[in-house]
């Protein structure tokens, strides 16, 4: 099954754009947070906390995008049901849970509704990724069994 659809190629390009844009954002974050916080009228004592939270969660998001790039290589190569993709989903789940944990700590230190929503979304992402990991693991087992049958 080596059918590379327009949607697959478009998604890969969007993931690449988000990945490289994310690198730029994470690198620029320490330099732009103070002026941005001042412009938006945030309290001065929140700048350090927000910078740390955004940097750590941004790095985790970059890791998730890196894993997605690896999975798209196998998809576009025509063989998405590989043990490597199962591992990628597991690593995505762990990164999603880590982002949720980062925002839970932020909620404890300084509650915002957005932080609560982000924590819930990334916890769900982690659970969804673990579910997909199990689906792909089963598909890999079926594929290997089918290859032995032929």
Residue 11 belongs to a domain: yes
Of 34, 30, 41, 110, the closest CA to residue 102 belongs to 110
Tell me which residue range forms the domain holding 34.
6-149
What is the number of domains present in the chain? 1
Dist CA 24 CA 132 (whole Å): 30
Answer whether residue 55 is part of any domain: yes
DSSP character at residue 64: H
pLDDT value of residue 44: 81
Is 121's pLDDT higher than 90?
A: yes
3-state secondary structure of 70: helix
Half-sphere exposure of 146 (CA within 13 A, CB side): 7
- Tokens, residue 63: 């890791």
Residue 53 lies in a domain: yes
Per-residue pLDDT at 80: 87
pLDDT over 70, % of the chain: 96
Residues in the chain: 150
Least confident of 30-39, 53-62, 95-104, 112-121: 30-39
Does some domain include residue 71? yes
Distance CA 17, CA 12 (A): 9
Predicted pLDDT at 149: 65
Distance of CA 58 to the CA centre of its chain: 9
To the nearest 10 degrees (0 to 180), the angle between helices 83-109 and 113-149 is 170
Q: What is the mean pLDDT of residues 33-50?
A: 87
Residue 70 in this model has a pLDDT that exceeds 80? yes
For the stretch 16-38, pLDDT in tens is 999 999 999 999 999 999 898 88
Residue 67 lies in a domain: yes
In a domain, 137, yes or no: yes
Largest CA distance in the chain: 67
Please state the pTM of the whole predicted model. Answer: 0.89
Residue among 66, 53, 52 at smallest CA distance from 22: 66
Is 38 a member of any domain? yes
Q: Is residue 1 part of a domain?
A: no
The answer, yes or no, to whether residue 135 has pLDDT greater than 70, is yes
């Amino acid at each position: 099954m080596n059918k590379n659809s327009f949607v697959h190629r478009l998604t890969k390009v969007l993931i690449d754009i988000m990945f490289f844009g994310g690198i730029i954002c994470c690198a620029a974050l320490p330099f732009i947070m103070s002026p941005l916080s001042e412009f938006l009228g945030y309290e001065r004592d929140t700048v350090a906390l927000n910078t740390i939270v955004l940097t750590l969660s941004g790095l985790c998001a970059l890791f998730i995008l890196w894993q997605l790039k690896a999975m798209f290589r196998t998809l576009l190569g025509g063989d998405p049901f590989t043990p490597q993709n199962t591992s990628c989903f597991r690593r995505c789940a762990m990164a999603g849970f880590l982002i949720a944990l980062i925002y839970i700590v932020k909620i404890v230190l300084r509650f915002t509704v957005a932080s609560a929503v982000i924590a819930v979304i990334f916890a769900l992402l982690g659970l969804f990724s673990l579910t997909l990991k199990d689906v792909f693991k089963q598909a890999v087992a079926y594929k290997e069994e089918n290859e032995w049958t032929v």
